[in-house]
Amino acid sequence: MKLYDIENGIMVYYLPEELDHYAAERIRKKSDAVFDEKEVKNLIFDFKNTCFMDSSGIGLITGRYRKIHDNGGTAYIVNVNSAIDKVLKMSGIYRIIGKWNSKEDIINELIKGGYYE
């Protein structure tokens, strides 16, 4: 399965079924080099396939968020189920990264904000 996608400066992470320490380390190792090389302006964390997450997942998200934030970009969270939502809420991460219903909504928001010209 695809780990991520980069298009028009938007990087989408397709998070795995179980986002624990093991998975988080793999994602970090496989994507950070790309992250540094390519011009990533915005980040989308897609939880469509994810049914388990612990604090290692929070660490992964905040780590990537910090990088994008330093470059003036924005991050988005999409497609969370109730179990993932509970963990995300508890972590307080929604204070810095918004939760969206669909990727289309995020793209529309980016268009509105003048991201696409």
Partner 1 sequence: MSNTNEMTLEFTSISQNESFARVVVAAFISRTNPTIEEVSDVKTAVSEAVTNSIIHGYDNGDGKISIKTVVQDRQVYIEIRDEGKGIPDIERAMEPLFTTRPDMDRSGMGFSFMEAFMDELHVESEVGKGTVIKMRKEIGAGHHFE
Residues that bind partner 1 (CB under 8 A): 18, 20-22, 24-25, 28, 52-56, 58-60, 62-63, 82-83, 86-87, 90-91
Q: How far is the CB of 98 from partner 1 (least distance, A)?
A: 19
Minimum gap (Å) between residue 25 Cβ and partner 1:
7
Half-sphere exposure of 47 (CA within 13 A, CB side): 24
Instruction: Compare residues 81 and 101 and give the one whose CB is closer to partner 1.
Output: 81
Residue with Cβ nearer partner 1 (7 or 36): 36
* Cα 50-8-70 angle, rounded to 5 deg: 75
| Three-state secondary structure call for residue 38 | coil
- Closer CB to partner 1, 44 or 60, in the complex: 60
Place of tokens 């992964």: 60
- CB 115 to partner 1: min, Å: 27
For residues 115 and 32, give the distance between their C-alpha atoms in angstroms, rounded to a whole number.
Answer: 24
Q: What is the DSSP string of 47-59?
A: -TT--EE-HHHHH
CA quadruple 97, 1, 51, 55: dihedral sign: negative
- Shortest distance, CB of residue 52 to partner 1, whole angstroms? 6
Q: Give 48 or 66: the residue with its C-beta nearer to partner 1.
A: 66
